[in-house]
Structure 1
Amino acid sequence: MSEPFTDSTEAVTDRPLNIPEYFLLLCLDDEKGKLLLDGPTVGMGIAGAALVELARRGRLEVTRSTVRSIEHPQQVFAADPNPPVWAHSTGLEWPLEQVWDIIRAFTRHRDAEQWINRFSRQTLRDAVAASLVKRGIVEEDESTVLWIFHRTRYRERDEHFEHELRDRIRGVLMDGQPADDVTWPLISLMRTTRLLHRLFPDVDKAHIRAAAITPVGSPATELSMSEALLATENAVAEALTATTGGASALD
């Protein structure tokens, strides 16, 4: 079932990029604008990133067995001595707001892996790409191959965001710098989707594993973020098993 992620009416702002936007940016070839991974894997990564971002913002509680929407994030961060800036805000940007609305409206039990599979279809990926286009970070390039096949690529217009992010990730993996609640989940998602070694081929596997499995951020949300990341890993592994007959180890 594809979700109707309608076009955004959100005004262009200078807000920081969210985790799904960062992940998609990392998945794009800088020059050609095509995906570095297959579409289904990117879709699951973006779906997992959306759950992680909503958990990071105190809008989802994620456990092994369920995902629960949270109306008032200030309740989540009430005991945090240094709450993040969004602790007192209920606003969400598009398409995260629509993802959250769909989860909130669903009345039956569904775990994180089921939500990841549901949101992994191309509609969410296209919506995240559209938000990057609106910010002027990438530009959409549509073409037809052999007069039949429609092709859309996203070439970078503003390289600052990805270069700054790669420097932060490289600092964590190679220079011993501390991770944060953006670099930690992105390293985990890149490891899960096999993207990390394509972008950082010389990083020691032990450093990757340590950075991927060590929670960082608010104590109020790191458990939910960890569960969303684990669900993404499971969803990708199961998809790989279904298509190849066996999942290879991450490390």
Structure 2
Amino acid sequence: MTGVALAEELLLLAYDDETGRATMPRISLDLGMAAAVLVELALAGRIAYADGNLAVTDPTPTGEPIVDGVLDRMAAEAPHSPASWVQRLRHGLRDRILGDLVGRGVVRDVEETELGFIVVHRYPMVDPTVEQDTRRRLAEALTGGPAPDERTAALATLVAAVRMEPALGLDGDDARGVEKRLAEIAGGAGFSGTVSTEDSVVRPSVSLVVLALGQAVDAALGPRR
């Protein structure tokens, strides 16, 4: 697996390009990125759901440093439920992803002091090409373009689960029905609802991660209005 990890795409969508600040509740973004890594591993055939837990089925590295770090951790620990893994993995994940993006020259780290003693970091955009490609794929999927590929469908599913629709920057007719269209994409890819393990190993794993993510976001932010 090469290219940009789903968790990185999710983070770039959630940060303002100019100010370098998150535009959504950080708890939901942290949960979403943890779920994104789990989805990435499931799609790559590295983990699968069995007997109530997600466990490593293939420890072969994927080639993505952040994802492989999580894979190593999961291989070293006992299996846990999807909900447990989402909570366990969210701590510190954002800093690792931001560090990776800074190291690759996608964003830059701006350190500032507020109120004379509080150190904060902003991450303005340097190379917009990654995010532009992400937004293009999602826009095509949302506005009647070709059926999205598996990774784009997974990203759309995660965007819906963390309530990130406003970050897509759509307006007018394109903005209407976004939530419904995201749900359609997730359902069409088999990433929501129920899919038997006889039909698929990956789909139930992804669906249960997304379900755990949605429940965690609801617990943190309250039910979606």
TM over 0.5: yes
1:49, 1:124 → 2: CA distance?
11
* Alpha-carbon contact 1:138-1:156 (below 8 Å) kept: yes
* Alpha-carbon contact 1:49-1:189 (below 8 Å) kept: yes
Report the residue type matching 1:223 in the other structure: P
1:230 and 2:211 aligned:
yes
2:11 to 10, 14, 24: 24
2:158 to 183, 186, 189: 189
The verdict on how the C-alpha distance between 1:69 and 1:231 changes in structure 2, with shifts beyond 3 A counting, is same
The verdict on how the C-alpha distance between 1:92 and 1:153 changes in structure 2, with shifts beyond 3 A counting, is same
Q: Identify the residue that residue 48 of structure 2 maps to in structure 1.
A: 61
Report the residue type matching 1:102 in the other structure: R
2:158, 2:26 → 1: CA distance?
15
Q: Identify the residue that residue 90 of structure 2 maps to in structure 1.
A: 120
* CA deviation vs aligned residue, 1:207-228 (integer Å, no higher than 9, x gap): 22201332269x6533322222
Q: Identify the residue that residue 102 of structure 1 maps to in structure 2.
A: 73
* CA deviation vs aligned residue, 1:190-246 (integer Å, no higher than 9, x gap): 1111111332351414322201332269x65333222222221122122224xxxxx
Report the residue type matching 1:67 in the other structure: L
1:240 and 2:211 aligned:
no
The verdict on how the C-alpha distance between 1:165 and 1:67 changes in structure 2, with shifts beyond 3 A counting, is same
How far off is 1:183 after superposition? 1.2
Report the residue type matching 2:208 in the other structure: E
3-state SS in 2 of match to 1:156: coil
Over the aligned positions, Cα root-mean-square deviation in angstroms equals 2.2
Matches within 5 A, 1:203-218: 203-204=176-177, 205-215=179-189
User: Normalization by structure 2: what TM-score?
Assistant: 0.86
* Alpha-carbon contact 2:108-2:125 (below 8 Å) kept: yes
* Alpha-carbon contact 2:162-2:217 (below 8 Å) kept: yes
How far off is 1:38 after superposition? 1.6
* Alpha-carbon contact 1:64-1:227 (below 8 Å) kept: no
Runs of 4+ with deviation above 3 angstroms = 89-92
3-state SS in 2 of match to 1:95: helix
3-state SS in 1 of match to 2:121: strand
* CA deviation vs aligned residue, 1:5-51 (integer Å, no higher than 9, x gap): xxxxxxxxxx4101111111111101111001121111001100010
Q: Across the two proteins, how many residue pairs are aligned to each other?
A: 212
Matched residues, percent identical?
27
User: Normalization by structure 1: what TM-score?
Assistant: 0.77
How far off is 1:120 after superposition? 1.6
Report the residue type matching 2:202 in the other structure: T
How far off is 1:116 after superposition? 0.6
* Alpha-carbon contact 1:173-1:203 (below 8 Å) kept: no
Q: Identify the residue that residue 171 of structure 1 maps to in structure 2.
A: 140
1:50 to 25, 30, 37: 37
| Runs of 5+ consecutive residues of structure 1 not aligned to the other structure | 1-14, 73-88, 242-246
1:237, 1:125 → 2: CA distance?
20
* Alpha-carbon contact 2:14-2:167 (below 8 Å) kept: no
* CA deviation vs aligned residue, 1:108-133 (integer Å, no higher than 9, x gap): x5201111111122x11100111111
* Alpha-carbon contact 2:110-2:121 (below 8 Å) kept: yes
* Alpha-carbon contact 1:173-1:208 (below 8 Å) kept: yes
Report the residue type matching 2:182 in the other structure: I
* Alpha-carbon contact 2:13-2:167 (below 8 Å) kept: no
More helix by share: 2
* CA deviation vs aligned residue, 1:154-183 (integer Å, no higher than 9, x gap): 111111111111111000011232111221
